Amino acid sequence: MITTRVAELLKTAGNGQAVEVRGWVRTRRGNKQVAFIAVNDGSIIHNIQVVADMEKFSEDSIKKVTTGACISVKGKLVPSQGQGQSVEIQADEIHVLGEADETFPLQKKGHSMEFLREIAHLRPRTNTFGAVFRIRHHMAFAVHKYFNDRGFYYLHTPIITGSDAEGAGEMFQVTTLDLHNLPKNPDGSINHKEDFFGKATNLTVSGQLEGELGAMALGLIYTFGPTFRAENSNTPRHLAEFWMIEPEMAFYDIKDNMDLAEDFLKYLVRYALDTCKDDLEFLNSMYDKGLIARLQSVVDQPFERLTYTKAVELLETCGQKFEFPVSWGTDLQKEHENYLVEHFKRPVILTDYPMTIKAFYMKQNDDGKTVRAMDILFPWIGEIIGGSQREERYEKLIQRVRDMKIPEHEISWYIDTRKFGTCEHAGFGLGFERLILFITGMTNIRDVIPFPRTPKNAEF
């Protein structure tokens, strides 16, 4: 039988009606006369209080109602005598469905995030991770809603890819070859003809290239799927497996692209503020008293937009000492991005980066030096979105491919779009976990995905 969830019960007026609830015991306290059991079923951050009159229950039957145990309770929903909840359950029957003994690791509160990461199979049962994963769900739903409401089509791009155009060196290889007995070509290289796909394949680092193919047919598309990067970046902002949202739009230029990205981010933050109130209030009170105010400020203000060149001028003349020196042509470091966001006190969109530090597919500006890239920098996070207007001119694109020594035959299918009905188009990639980091105020990206994959870590 399906029982009522706690989120529903807490919205219901208690007038003695019979209810049944199932969930996990957070705490049990009380005395010889009465036991108070806080039950959480994951539907909401709040527990429902179960009151067991010890005249009705033997001490033995209550003994196994311990922190972590799974129980079912039948009783009456009544107005609560105590503080902190409007209703509680006056228990008639309590059954222990699954015991948890004193070795259950979440006995008391106040575990470190590091410890909780080691027990990632149990941490969803904490208030914090319950809140984070509920918010994560709502954000995923909001992503689909945003695009669906605006006529975008969800395109499923492949996870196994035959091209490594974008991620040279950063990709996980996919193979069914026997690593202890690799088939070799006469010259000693590995014979991938014998591999599952008859060629070398990898896990995707981005769905963009295939996304563009979709946009050239459906007009407006987005992808939302897992991406994989074998970069050895042990930072609080990088995962080896993360989820990315990548819209791609025919007939959009870089300005349209920026407008969409800004509107999209504001929509998502507003959606969180409207939909995830209880969880955000919990995180705000527990970890980060500035969280909700910071979210609100992103919604309220226009993002600052400036070119990379202007940003570098500002960084060079601001008088601040940086660990990494900055000059035109270098990639901006985290400290530079932070400075810019703090300087403008709002998210910043940087555009028109040097061609040499950006990908081959970005549209070249007439100055011959810069491309129509746009990165969005967020308070706390740094880069949250990377995007660009795409180079739609065949000659320009093929020249870049050759200059960068990208094997043409491997992406001939991509280049084809510039031969057959090419048009102006643009898109961007939003790292889903970076968004969740910002929304939840968590400080480590390992704490916003249920089972993080990072260098030397693929437990669970």
Please tell me the distance from the alpha carbon of residue 374 to that of residue 260, in angstroms, as a whole number: 12
CB of residue 147 to ligand ATP, shortest distance in Å: 17
Quick one: which of 171, 272, 349, 385 contacts ligand ATP (CB under 6 A)? 385
Stretch in the footprint of ligand ATP (CB under 6 A) among 179-187, 250-258, 272-280, 426-434: 426-434
**Residues numbered 142-171 forming contacts with ligand ATP, rule: CB under 6 A:** none
Indicate whether 384 belongs to the interface with ligand ATP (CB under 6 A): yes
* Residues in a beta bridge with 364: 371
CB of residue 237 to ligand ATP, shortest distance in Å: 6
- Per-residue binding letters, 190-229, with ligand ATP (x by CB under 6 A): ---------------------------------------x
Indicate whether 383 belongs to the interface with ligand ATP (CB under 6 A): yes
Quick one: which of 19, 142, 244, 291 contacts ligand ATP (CB under 6 A)? 244
Quick one: which of 239, 254, 312, 411 contacts ligand ATP (CB under 6 A)? 239
Token duo for residue 296: 């609100």
Residue carrying the six token digits 């010889």: 32
CB of residue 169 to ligand ATP, shortest distance in Å: 13
The distance of Cα 365 from the centroid of its chain, to the nearest Å, equals: 32
Indicate whether 386 belongs to the interface with ligand ATP (CB under 6 A): yes
CB of residue 265 to ligand ATP, shortest distance in Å: 11
Quick one: which of 50, 434, 436, 437 contacts ligand ATP (CB under 6 A)? 434
Classify the C-alpha dihedral 269-272-275-281 as positive or negative: negative
CB of residue 460 to ligand ATP, shortest distance in Å: 18
Residue carrying the six token digits 């949250």: 384
Per the CB < 8 A criterion, the answer to whether 165 and 212 are in contact is: no
Please tell me the distance from the alpha carbon of residue 250 to that of residue 216, in angstroms, as a whole number: 6
Stretch in the footprint of ligand ATP (CB under 6 A) among 130-138, 301-309, 344-352, 425-433: 425-433
- DSSP assignment of 23-56 equals EEEEEEEE-SSEEEEEEE-SSSSSPEEEEEETTT
Please tell me the distance from the alpha carbon of residue 404 to that of residue 427, in angstroms, as a whole number: 22
Indicate whether 332 belongs to the interface with ligand ATP (CB under 6 A): no
Please tell me the distance from the alpha carbon of residue 70 to that of residue 92, in angstroms, as a whole number: 17
Indicate whether 431 belongs to the interface with ligand ATP (CB under 6 A): yes
User: Which residues have CB under 8 Å from 245's CB, separation 6+?
Assistant: 143, 222, 223, 224, 429, 430, 432
Which is nearer to ligand ATP, 65 or 436 (by Cβ)?
Answer: 436
Please tell me the distance from the alpha carbon of residue 319 to that of residue 357, in angstroms, as a whole number: 25
> Nearest 5°: CA angle at 343, between 337 and 344?
100
Bin 172: left if φ > 0, else alpha if -120 < ψ < 50, else beta.
beta
CB of residue 429 to ligand ATP, shortest distance in Å: 4
Quick one: which of 164, 262, 391, 433 contacts ligand ATP (CB under 6 A)? 433
Name the site residues for ligand ATP (rule: CB under 6 A): 229, 237-239, 242, 244, 383-386, 429, 431, 433-434
